[in-house]
Each structure stands twice: as structure tokens, then as C-alpha cells.
Structure 1
Amino acid sequence: MSRTLLVQYRRRPLRGLMSFFRAAAWTNGPARLWLALGLGLLCSGVAGIVNQVVWQRALKVVLGGSETLSSMIVVLVFLAGLGLGAAVAARIASRSRNPMMLLAALELGLVLTNAVVAMVLAIDISETVYAVQRVALGAGIPLRLVYAVGAGATLLPPTLLMGATIPVASEAAQRQLGGRDSALVPVLFFVNTAGAALGAIAASLWWLPWWGQRRALLGAIVLNAVAALLIGVLGRARQVEPAVSAAKVDVARPVRVEELLGAALGFVSLGYEMLLFRALSLGHGPLPITFALGLTAFLICWALGMALSRRVGGSGGLTAGLTAAAVALAPLVLDWDAAREGADYGELGPLLPAAILYGIPVIGFGLLYGQLVSRRAEDWGRDVGRYSAFNTVGSCLGVLFFTLVAYEAPFAAGTSTVALVLVAVACVEWRVGASSKRERLHAGVFASAAVAGAVFSLSVGLSWNPTLAEDGTVTYWGRDGVVAVHPDGDVFLDGLWHTRLTEGPDGHVGRPYTWVMAAAAVLAHDDPHPKRALVIGAGVGVSGATLAGVEGLKVDGYEINQTLRRVLEDRPDQTLHALTHPSLRWIWQDARTGLALDETRYDIILSAPLHLRQAGSSLLLSREYLRLVKSRMAEGGVLAVYSNEGPGAQSQLVQATLAEAFAYRTSWYDGIVTIASDSPIEVTAARIEERMMREDLLYTQMSQLDRALSSDGGDGIQGLWDGPMSADTLPNVVIVDDWPLVEHPKVADALVPTRASR
């Protein structure tokens, strides 16, 4: 890179980058190699984030275990692979005679590993996985250890390659392309992270919704192949002597303060990213677009900070201090976002300003990262690899701490913890630059006080859980999610309305999402006294308690969100004493895994855990899931599914998938509830009348509701029944694990009519 372009980059980083690529495109020699390296890192960044999104989603399906702790294990394995790859690259990059060819080999390795993953996704190995899990449970091996081993076998090979990318690219930039100023190191990070930002929005909003997982992986394979081709073809003839001997590389080097600060930065930046996702979810719902835009905003702001790092220069103390102040203001953004009216979930307009405001502190994280890594870089491959490895260790600690501890406290306690740790980082930076013993002592005292303040802030936050708002809303904070109970009894999970608590013993009667679903399933079953029932997504227990109103019926309930346990404990009267009901058995586990490992058969199964548009809803609506549910239904069993929340295409997809799995379907309450079975479903006036004459609590409630509806001029209970359903007008596309189409209503609206007409 010429001196003129380097000066321009320092003054105006983005314009300098554009000038650099324009010059490189028309220049022979090393400039073309710079261009190849930059474009290769850009493609690699796009592919990397696509890989991450698809791999983590696929592992939830293949390995099972969507609980928070199981998901945390997958993230930890992913980060550990990145850190280990960076550490290995720190040792081997300096030995290579052609680092660009080594980088091309890494990209080619990702092509091969991704191809293997794509082939695995193309076949159904779920029964094999579940068989292994059953054997492990029989041997007393914890299921989460099985998840960790499975995730490690799947993720470690590709993440090792991904983690080595930037250290090897840094080595190539220094030794093969003549880089001398460590200002270029943040440029490499910037280009790669910018590609990741493009990949985040592309994977979440286009590739996955329109293509599905396997085809999205094929897109990533193409990008990794392009990166390998660009870097390999132009760099194949540019060999250099190894920078150091193998013996010198293996000599242990003392840990430097920049590496320790890098670990601290990884801890707080990963923690803030988790808090950012939670805040956006509370304001805009746990939807695919929410997580996609949140991740994109995080990566763009990080990249901007990296680009600005050399212009700011100097110590990172001021950067850390200002970033701490910005993080401390995040709770005000949460309050402002929650107070806005008319913000429709899933709309980009209301979501974008919130994502930008939450992203402002991330610019500081990227800026501080760039300052530290460029200050640390002498032998670029070795030093960047070591710094990245330390940073990733901190990120792993951040995942553990914020999942297990900080997520159990209110949002403000989490941001206070991040801000105070950043203050401690600023004090350490001040101490490094201090010229006198007294100044170093003061800096150490202030840093210790900041860490103590972080511990105190989090302790206070944990003691204030749940929190009480001025309007009477009680909010329960937990690692599995945030539950808000409003004064009128409405219950929100992570920002989306979920259900309503009951007022008195009969306050829930007639509600479509709980009572009607349970009553419709019982009416559809030929036996007025079925023996076993299952509720998937037991929530606050109203559906399960309603089913338990049939004499002799034993009910199991799967619930993944253990934060709801506190609601059940605090409000027994409003949850029909579901937590302690003698006929109810609560199973705090992912239902899909539980069904696979427990072969109990049920007469009635209720499945209503998610909004159709919520991220992850397709995992409990797909063809594969329904086949699993069907295998756990007794002869003559019925399934009740929440199937309609507005957009017609989503409902059509659910109905088409049910029609493929079951021979008979009927719906209730304008399609909100669908009953499916392989046995004929008879809902006649005679059956309803016969059931209402029985003394079971549920049948008594039916009789009371029937009289109330009839007195208003309606047709009683039978007026809630829509009738049998036909498959003649359904589309020929169904929900599958590989394609989460139902989670994207706008894409479904565009695709389903086209598919239905074929």
C-alpha cells in the first residue's frame, strides 16, 4: 500500500479504503494481491456468518436440545473452535513459505467441510442421533455432555479453519505484500467483518427464507471457493522465506497486557451482544428480522470501529471510558423503545432506529479492539493469532457469565456490569501509560473499585428480580427469557403476547388459545375419558389444568422456559394451581428431544408453544416434527395445533403440512385451532350433548359456556366448530426442518400462491 493511500486511510478510513481498492484494481504487482486478499476476506466473511447461522440452527434439529443451556453449549463450542484456530495459526503462520496459499487452503477446507455438512442435512440421521442419546442416558451420561460431543465433532473442524483465517491473512499481508504499518491489521478485520455483516442480513432475510438451509450452505460454499480461487491463483507464485524457525515459534512468550485487555474486551463485547438481542426482542418481538438486524447492526458498528481505530490512535483508555458511558445509557434506549406506540412487530421502520442506537457502544468495542491489536502486532501472524485467541477466551467466559448469571437480573444490571468492567479496562490502560508510581497506584485502585462496583450492581439486580413497573407490570428476568405479567393478566414472553392468566376458577373458559384447544381435542376423541394427554408448550399451565378437568386423565407438560416457573409459583390462583396439580407432570425440557427419547403414547396431544412468525416456530410445525408427534399418538389419538394468526399463507402452510401427516382434519374458532388425526373426527350435536351431561369439570364448563353462547343467540359450543377441512385447495409446499418458510410471512405470501398454482 502506498504512503499516500495510507495517509488518506488514517485521515478518512472509509474513503481511504475505497481509494485503495480502486488503485489496486488498475495496478499490476502487489496491489493486485492486496485486492485479491481484500475480496477474498470479504467473501470469507459473508460465508462465515452464513455458515454460523445454518450450523447452529441445524444442530438444534439434528442433536435436539433447544433449551438455553444446550444452545449455550453450541455457542461455546463454536467460539472455542475459533479461538483454537487462531492459537494454532499463531504458531504455524510464520513457518509458511506462502501464507496466501495457506489461506487459500483454509478456504478450500471450508468448502469441503461445508459440503459434508450439506450432505448430512440432505439425509435424515435423527433416529441414529436419538438412539445414541438413549444409550448415553441409559449409561448415566448427561445429555448435555452428548450435545457437547456432537457439537464438537460437527463444529470444531470448520471453526478451526475459520479462526485461523485472519492471523494467516495478517501474515500474508506483512511478509508477502510488504505491509509495514500495523494500521493495516484493523483493515483486514474491517473487510472481513463487513462481509460478515452482509452475510448476516443475506442469510437471515433472503437465503434461509427463500432457499432453505442446504441451498444457503451451497451459497456459502461458492463464496469460500471464490475466496480460495482469488487468493490462491494470485498468490501461488509469491513465495517468501519463513519469518522464523520452528524452534523459535515454539518458545513460550510472556502474556502481554494487550492480550489480557483483549480477553476483557471479548467478555464485555459478547455480553453486550447478548443484552442487545434481548433488548431488541423485548421491543420488537423474537422474530427472524429482529435477530437478523440486531446481528447486522452489531457487525457493521464493530467494523466501523475497526476502520476508525488508526485515526484515533493512542491509548484505549479514553475509548473504553466513552464506550462505558454509552453502554450505561442503553437502559434509557430500552425504555424509549418500549414506550413507542404503533410500532408493528416485524416492520423495519421502527426496528432500525433502535438497532442503530443500541449499536453505538459497539463502535467503541471495535475501535478498542483495533487499537489493542494494532499496538500488539509486531510479527503479524503470530501476534494477531495470540490476541484473537485471548479475545475468544474472554468471549467464552462472557457467554457463560451472561447466560448463567447476568440474564437472571434486569437489563440495567447487565449493562451496568459491562460498563463498569469497561471502566476497569480504561483504568488499566491509564496505568500502562502512567509515568509515576503514584499514578499507577491510583489507576489500580480505580480499576479494583470498578470491578467491585460491577459485582455489587449485578448482586443488587439479582435481588430485584422480578421488577415492578409504575403501571403494575411485573417482569421476571431469566436465562430462558423475559416474562412480563400485565395488570390485566396478559402474559408476554420476550415481547410477544403469549396468554392471559385466569380470573377465578372459570375465568379461562372459552378462550381459544387454551380452553378451546383443550376442549376441542377432548370432544374429537371417541373416548369421553381418555387416559393420557400431553401439552407441548405448557406455558402457565391453563391448557394442562383444563385437560385435567376430565376425570382420570393424566397430563404431561413440556415447557422450555423455566422463567415461567416463578410465575406459576407466585400466582397459583391465576394459573389454576397447575404447578402443584396432582394430575399434571411438568417436564422442563425441549419437547422435540423429550418426544424422541420417551416412547410414551398419548390419546391427546396439544401443540401450541409459539407464534407462527416467531424465530424457531418451524421446529415445532415441520413435517419431521409432526411425524415424531404422530409416532407418540395412541390408536385413535388426536392432535390439536395452534394454526392461524392472520396471514393466510402461514395458515395454508400449516394446514398443508398437517394434511400430509394426517388423514383427517377439522378446525375451531375461525381456524385458530386445528384438530388432526388418522381416525375419523366426529363432532356432532349428539356427542356434544352427551359429553355436557357428564359430571367431569371440563364437561361442566362446556355446559355452562354452551348456555351462555346460546343465550346470546348463537349456536352454543357447536357454533365454535368450523367443520371438517379439505386438502384440495392447499399448496403443494410444506414446512420442513430445512426450510423455515412459515417464520417469514412476507416470503410465504410471495411463494405459496405460486406453488399452489402448479
Structure 2
Amino acid sequence: MSRRRRKHARQHPIVAEASNTRAFEPGAGVLIGVVACFVLSGFAALLYQTAWMRQFSIVFGTSELAVATVLSAYMAGLALGATIGGRLVDRVTRPILVYGLLEAGVALSALAVPLLLALANLLYIGVLGDQPGPADASGLGQSFFYLVVAFVVLAIPTGCMGATLPMLTKYVVRSDAQIGPRIGLLYAMNTVGAVGGTVTAGFLLLPALGLSGTVWVGVAVNGLVFLIAATIARSIRPGESTRAKRVQAVEIERATGSAHRFNPIGPGWILPLMLLSGANTFAYEVLWTRLLGHILGGSIAAFATMLASFLGGIAIGSAIAARFATNRDRAITGFILAQAGIAATSIAIYESLHLLIPETLGLTGNVPLAIAILLPATLFVGATFPFAVRILARDERDAARSSARVYAWNTVGAIVGAAIAGFVLVPLLRYEGTIELAVTINVVLALAASILIMRKRYVAAIASAIFLAAVIFAYRPLLPEEILRTSPIADSREGEIRYYEVGRSATVLILEEDGYLNLRTNGLPEASTNLKGAPPYQHNQRLLSTLPVLARPDTRDMLIVGFGAGVAVEGVPPSVASIDVIELEPKVIDANRLIGPERQIDPLQDDRVHIIINDARSALALTAKRYDAIVSQPSHPWTAGASHLYTREFMALAKEHLNPGGIFLQWMNTQFLTESLLRSLCATLLDVYPYARIYQWQPEILFFLGSDEPLDIERTMARTGRPLRDDPLHYLEKGIGSVEDLLIALAMDQENIERFAAGSRLLTDNFNRMATESSVAMERNETLSFRSLVDLFVPYNPLLQDDSWIHNDFPVDLEFSYISER
């Protein structure tokens, strides 16, 4: 060292030590270990997020409001953790050890989440419960409760997650040139781990281990990270921590210095720009996943594929940008180009999406399509983070704090996006308006960055202004009609579009074809109804609400879960005095109001009908009202809004809201079931309701009946004539004119269901095989065809059994010639 430098070191020992700390580079092995920890950390985080979202949906329901508040609470914890970690990181002398302790904190607090959720459920029912009728999801008290409880339950684990990035940044960034590259590397590798967690949870862990098993895997991974981090911390030279402690004063002084004060033009503007960018990114995620759902379907595996593709693009983009974010000037240029790139690629993908629709729909074989659609724009999305951190950070001593601030602001933006994208923005603007607004925001961000962060970027500012003018005045995206007509399970794309709206939880479409109105949600066929003048036909859905009255003629109060096209409501006998209908998507009701004057029967004009917009489980949990019959007709058992309505817990919840002797009816289409799932559904019904029956009026449609009192429907009808004699015309219109018509539809009675379901696994919230197996079986053509269903049911049909009560203990003589003809 020269004499002058030695003299300066003696006069300014702290500053000298600050310079010397740059020499303490982590070795290659240590750096690899740190990066590996962050990969595993991202892996565990997405395991938790996947499992927690489904666990919360069990308590709060799957309404868009409930999902948005839980997701907002999750990200709020991340932002809070990043903020606190950024403020404290300058005082930390052993960041790797602290990082390991944070990971241990995630693991321990994750174990407490199920217990806290159970307590939250008790509090939820205690505070908001005992309402006179099913609760509507639009209430402010309910949404506020969702947000507060979700944040309290998730604050510790997500807070610990959010604080990890600044801790690792403090250790791995040791020079100014390393800020962008190494922070970009950490961010990219953490996202790579998140991709792995998403795929592993959706395709492997949830089907194999269920929700609690998936969480335990996350806990084990966090525990492994703690051990690795603790080992690395022990291997670091003790002197390094001592030196780091001596430069604390310099770091804190610099971190709170004049550079962080507001300036009209300066790097501090990158924070609000990243906030807006985070909100805009979430709008894109809602847009692309909704549109891709028409092609890939709405299963857990399909969503995992889309999310993994989205995160994969972010990881690759961050890794690429890290190589270029070596100084502030290059980072500003990179950020401007990234925002412009998001806009340009999003326009290109949206306008060409109809050309990419494959001949074979569904998830199988179309994973490359999801990647091709989501990857281009997300590459640029991922690039924004390392560029933003490099813009904000003055030097390596400010890197950890700056990374925490950028992460926190960007996550707050994502919270805003989660709160308004699916709930307000996309429903208000629809797909075509959303893409136009999102692209405009990206170009505005590019223009703002070129003007506000540094002076004399005239070329970038002019180019961004021209691009913005072109978007505002020339870009007019059209509705994605070809995508809207596409369905993963319906072949027909024909018919006139009579209604199209993007709702909070689903895209609702009505197509008119051959005198019928066909309603779809997210591309999935829900129901059809007749136009005035169309030929009459026997609609099995009308029997959904008729059968409970056949079983209990004195039924007065009925609950129907799912409105669809309102056909089940059409079939409610006049003797029923009150009909509550719970519908998740308000646009479904709007669509039915629009076509009401044109249909043969408008169920919304029935004075007995009361519509509740909510998730069925959430609505029922908050009311003390009881019914004589509950009809549950969710259509597609693998989707998020329906899969939790086939479990033992929901059936038990329904039973709690039935009067003594009340009827629970579950609709099911066997094209969604394997033999194993069918047996499990029967076993689940029997586990809740001691008395059960299965009826089959159409080849692939089954009605499951359950009650706490015996179901001797046919013999009671033969003795009393009820309810047929009460209103014979109504029942004749539904195809029921005699007891023989009911016996023809009887597929299994009590004794035969018990034999059929013996030894089968139950469907539960924790291990919901409907959600994980149904769509996979459909794509593999492993579900029950009509012929296989007939062969399966023949040994259990009491009509075909010589020793059954039908042939040996029936109170009247039956017309077997009529039965054989039918």
C-alpha cells in the first residue's frame, strides 16, 4: 500500500475497512450453495402458495373476492418482510445465518397455518354466522374479514419469505459491478425454484400426498435450506463478520443519505414505476390464464402449467438481464426496452392467438403452446427487476437495501393488481379492453423511465412517445371470438354469440344454435335451454329439482347450488314455497336475464326464487337456515369453483342445513368419472348420509340421493300416490306418470350402493381426487363410457335382481311390460 493510502487509512479507518470488505468475495462453492438455497426456497414457497390457496378456499370459498383477498394478504406479507428486512439488513453481521433462521421460521410457521385456519373458521362463523339466509359475497364486512384473517394467518411465513432476498444480497454482492448480475441471478434462480414447486405440486404432490402432505414437503425443504445455510455460515471466516460490523456506520449513513431524498429527476422514480409494472403484470397473468383456459382447461395441472410457463419466462428474462445490468446507464436503457418489449410481444401474441388454436384441445400435447404464448412477454417482465435494482442502488453497500425496496414496491403493485385485475379491471374492460390498457401502461412506463430517471435521453423519450401515440390512436384489439368459441370438452364452435362478458370468476358465453341457447363458462358447457317455439324435449336437469319432491312430497324450502341456465329452477314443483339459488358468477345471472324474454320458461320471473352470489360453502357456513332439500349441481368437478363441492366436508355441511328427513341431491356426469372415482363418490355419500340411492334418467347422468331417514320412495308413492296425484300435469311434463317411471330410473338402492362402495377411499378436502384425477382421466379417455357404465351397474340394479324388494315386497302389481319397453 502506498504511503498516501496508508495515511488515509489511518485517518479514516472505517472507510478503509469499507473498501477492504470488497476483497472478501464468497468462494465459488459458497456462492453455489447460497444460490442452491434460494432455488429450494422458491420451490418451497410455491408449494405453500398452491396448498394454502386451496386450504383458504375451503374456509372462505372460491369467490373472486375471497381468492383476491387471500392472494393480496400473501403478497402483503412478502412486501412487509422485504421492507423490514431492507431496513434491518445493514445491522446484520451474519446474513447467511439470518437467512437460514428466516427459512426455519417459514417452516415452523407453515405448520401453524392449518391450526390458525381452523381457529379462523370458528371466528368466521362466530362473527359473521347465524344469518337468516345464505350470505352474499358482496358485503364489506365479509371482505374485510377475509383480508384481516388471511394476513394474520400468513404474516409470519410470508414475512420471513420476503426478508430473505436482502439478506442474501448483502452477502453475495461485493462490488458495484455485481449489483445487477448477482441480484438478477438470485431472483432468477429463486423463480426457477418456484417453477419447480408449481409443477411438482400440481402434477405430483397434490395427487399423491394431498394438501397437508404437500405442506409437509415444503417444511422439509425449508428445514434442509436452514441446515445448508447454517453450514455455510459456519464456514465463513470469522474476521469477515467483524469487519462487516465495523463498516455498519458507513453503510447506515449512506443508506439514509441525501441520495434517497426526492428529486424531480433521479433513480428514485424507479420505485413507483415498478409498482405500476407489478400491477400491470398481474393484469396480464389474469388475461392470459383466462384465455388459455379455453384451450387447456381449468384443472389443477392446467393452471400449474400456465403458472410455471409464466414464472419460467420471468426466470429466464431475469437471468438474461442480469448480464447487462452492470451499471446504471445500461440498466435504464434495459428497463425502457423491457417495458417496450412487454407491450410489443403482448400485442403480437394477442393478435395471433386465434392462429395458435390446436386441433386437439386440453392439456395433453399442448404444454408447448402454453410456453409459446406466455414466454415472450414474460422474458421482458423478468428483466425489469435486475434493471430496477441496478438503477436504484448507488453501489454495492446499497444493493441489499435497494433490492428490498424494489421488491417491496413491485409486490405492493402486485397486490393492487390482485385486488382489481380479476375483480374489476378485466370484467369492466373485457379481454380486448384489458390488453389495450395493459399495453398502453407498458409504453407509458417506458416513456416515464426515459424522462424521469436521467436527463438527456432524448432518443428513448422520442421513440417511446411515438410508440405511445401509435398504441393510443391506432391499436384497436377485437374480441377474441375464436378463443371464446373454443372449449376443451365441447366440439361445436358454431352458433350466434348472444351474450359475452368476462366475469369475476368466469367468462360467460351464450351461443344460439338450432333453437337452443347454450351457456358456457370459461369454454365449458354448463347447460342449454329452449327458445320459444323450439320442439319440446325431456331435460334431465328439470328432474334435479323434481326428484327431491318425489322423495319427500311435503318439501317446502329448497336450495339449489349453481344456477347454470336455470333449467333446474324450471323443474321445481309448484308445491315448493321457497327456492334459494347460490351462484358463484354474477354474469351467469346477467346472461339469463338477457335471454329471459326469449325462452319458453324464465326462471328469474318466479317469485319464489332468491339469488345469492357467493361460493356455496361460504354462503352455507354463515347461515342458520335449514332446507327440506338441497340440490348440488356444480358442473365440472376438476375446476376450482366446483371441486370442493364433491367432498365429504361439503356433504356434511349440507347435512347440517337440512331439516330432519331432508334430501341432499348430487348431480354427476359419468364422462368426468373413472370407476374408482365413482365408487369413492358413493362411499363419501354413504359416510355422511346413512341412506342413499342413485337414479339414472339419461345414459351418462347420475343423481345421487342422500338422507338421514330411510328412502323408500317407490313403495311410499305406490301406497299414497303422492306427489303425483298432487300435481299430475307437472310430473307428466317431466316424464314421471307412474311409479314404474321411477323404478326404471333407479340404478342402485341402499343395499347395492353399500356393496358397490365397500372399501373405497373417501373424497375429502385434504385429498380431493376429483380435483386431481377427473380432468386427467378425461384427457386419457379413461372415464366411464355409456357401455362400460351399463356393464358396471348391471350387477347392482335391483330391478334385475330376483331377490330384491321390487319383485318380492312391493305393495302393488307393477307393469313389467311397460318397464321392459322403456
The 5 Å alignment of 1:178-193 reads 180-193=178-191
Shift of 1:124: 8.1
Letter in 2 for 1:31: A
Q: How does 1:273-422 map to 2 (within 5 A)?
A: 273-312=285-324, 314=330, 315-316=333-334, 317-337=336-356, 339-343=357-361, 345=362, 347-377=363-393, 378=395, 379-403=398-422, 404-422=424-442
Partner residue in 1 for 2:526: 498
Alignment partner of 1:241 is 2:209: no
Is contact 1:287-1:615 (8 Å) kept?
yes
- Deviation, 1:747, is 10
Q: Tell me how far 1:550 sits from its aligned partner.
A: 2.4
Q: Cα 1:693–1:424, aligned 2, differ >3 Å: closer, same or farther?
A: same
Instruction: Give the structure 1 partner of residue 198 of structure 2.
Output: 200
Equivalent-residue separation in structure 2 for 1:136 and 1:450 (angstroms): 54
Give 2:603's aligned amino acid: A
* TM-score when normalising by structure 1: 0.85
Offset of residue 610 of structure 1: 3.3
Listed as ranges, the matches of 1:249-268 within 5 Å are: 249=255, 253-254=260-261, 256-268=268-280
Paired position in structure 2 for 1:150: 149
Q: Give the aligned partner of residue 170 of structure 1.
A: 169
CA distance, structure 2, for counterparts of residue 599 and residue 221 of structure 1 = 38
User: Which one of the candidate residues 88, 91, 96 is aligned to 1:95?
Assistant: 91
* Distance across 2 between alignment mates of 1:385 and 1:127: 36
The answer as to 2:152 corresponding to 1:133 is no
Q: 1:577 to 1:254 in 2, by over 3 A?
A: farther
* Conservation of the 8 A alpha-carbon contact between 2:339 and 2:445: yes
* Unpaired segments ≥5 residues, structure 2: 1-24, 134-138, 263-267, 487-492, 784-822
Deviations 1:635-686 (A, max 9, x none): 2111110134332222222111101011121112256211111222234288
Please list every run of 5 or more consecutive structure 1 residues that lacks an aligned counterpart in the other structure.
1-27, 753-758
Q: Partner letter of residue 420 of structure 1?
A: T
The verdict on how the C-alpha distance between 1:557 and 1:600 changes in structure 2, with shifts beyond 3 A counting, is same
Please, which moves more after superposition, 158-167 or 374-383?
374-383
Moved more, 481-490 or 293-302: 481-490
The residue that corresponds to 2:112 in the other structure is 116
Query: Aligned letter for 2:161?
Result: M
- Any conservation in 2 of the 1:409–1:478 contact (CA below 8 Å)? no
Measure, in 2, the Cα distance between the counterparts of 1:609 and 1:575.
24
* Amino acid paired to 2:359: E
Q: Distance between the aligned counterparts of 1:134 and 1:739, measured in 2?
A: 27
Equivalent position of 2:691 in the other structure:
664
2:502 aligned counterpart, secondary structure = strand
1:718 deviates by: 3.9
In structure 2, how many angstroms separate the alpha carbons of the residues matched to 1:335 and 1:723?
46
Whether the 8 Å CA contact 2:89–2:400 is kept in 1: the answer is yes
Q: Which amino acid aligns with 2:339?
A: A
Q: What is the CA-CA distance between 1:250 and the residue it aligns to? A: 5.2
- Mark the CA change 1:436 to 1:110 in structure 2 (over 3 Å): closer, same or farther: closer
CA displacement, residues 516-558 of structure 1 (integer Å, 9 cap, x when unaligned): 2222222122x2x4111010112232212311x3234311111
Percent identity over the alignment is 22
Measure the CA separation in 2 of the matches of 1:372 and 1:293.
Answer: 28
**Deviation string, structure 1 residues 383-430 (Cα, Å, up to 9, x no partner):** 101111111122122223322122333322212222121112222344
Tell me, yes or no, if structure 1 residue 619 matches structure 2 residue 619.
Answer: no
Q: Which residue of 2 aligns with 1:222?
A: 220
Q: Counterparts of 1:66 and 1:357 in 2: how far apart (Å)? A: 27
Q: Counterpart in 2 of 1:557?
A: 581
Shift of 1:216: 0.8
Given that 1:540 and 1:575 are in contact with CA atoms closer than 8 Å, whether structure 2 keeps it comes out as no
Q: Which amino acid aligns with 2:445?
A: V
Distance 1:371 1:185, change over 3 A: same
Return the offset for 1:83: 1.3
Contact between 1:475 and 1:483, CA under 8 Å: does it hold in 2? Answer: yes
- 2:731 maps to a residue whose letter is Y
Q: Given the superposition, is the C-alpha separation of residues 715 and 332 from structure 1 closer, same or farther in structure 2, using an over 3 Å criterion?
A: farther
* 1:508/1:295 CA distance change after superposition, 3 Å: farther
- What secondary structure sits across from 2:586 in the alignment? coil
Aligned amino acid, residue 69 of structure 1:
L
Q: Distance in 1 between matches of 2:536 and 2:73?
A: 44
Contact 1:283-1:334 within 8 A present in 2 as well: no
Paired with 1:197 and 1:305, the residues of 2 have a C-alpha distance of 14
Q: Residue 525 of structure 2 aligns to a residue in which SS?
A: strand
Q: Deviation per CA, 1:213-259, whole angstroms, max 9, x where unpaired?
A: 11111100111111111112211344242454356645682361322
Q: 1:538 aligns with which of 549, 552, 563?
A: 563
- What do the CA deviations read for 1:708-742 (whole angstroms, capped 9, x no partner)? xx9xxx97454233231422232431111112221
Which of 698, 709, 719 is the aligned partner of 2:730? Answer: 698
CA distance in 2, matches of 1:371, 1:29: 23
**Two-structure CA RMSD over aligned residues (Å):** 3.4
Task: Tell me: CA distance 1:500–1:95, structure 2 relative to 1, closer, same or farther (3 Å).
Answer: same
- How many pairs were matched up? 702
- How many angstroms apart in 1 are the aligned matches of 2:632 and 2:111? 35
The secondary structure found in structure 2 opposite 1:737 is coil
Seen in structure 2, the aligned counterparts of structure 1 residues 611 and 467 have a Cα distance that, compared at 3 Å, is closer
Offset, 1:304? 0.6
Instruction: Deviation per CA, 1:34-64: give whole Å up to 9, x if none.
Output: 12211110110100011111112111223x2
1:438 and 1:387, CA in 2 relative to 1: closer, same or farther beyond 3 A?
A: closer
- Give the distance between the partners of 1:417 and 1:479, measured in 2 at CA: 18
Contact 2:37 2:228 in 1 (8 A): yes
Match of 1:75 among 65, 71, 74: 71
- 1:351 Cα deviation from its structure 2 partner: 4.2
Q: Is 1:272 matched up with 2:284?
A: yes
Is the 1:209–1:747 contact (alpha carbons within 8 Å) kept by the matching residues of 2? no
| CA shift for structure 1 position 748 | 9.3
Is 1:674 paired with 2:709?
Answer: no
Matched, 1:210 2:208: yes
On the 8 A contact 1:302/1:365 being kept in 2, the answer is yes
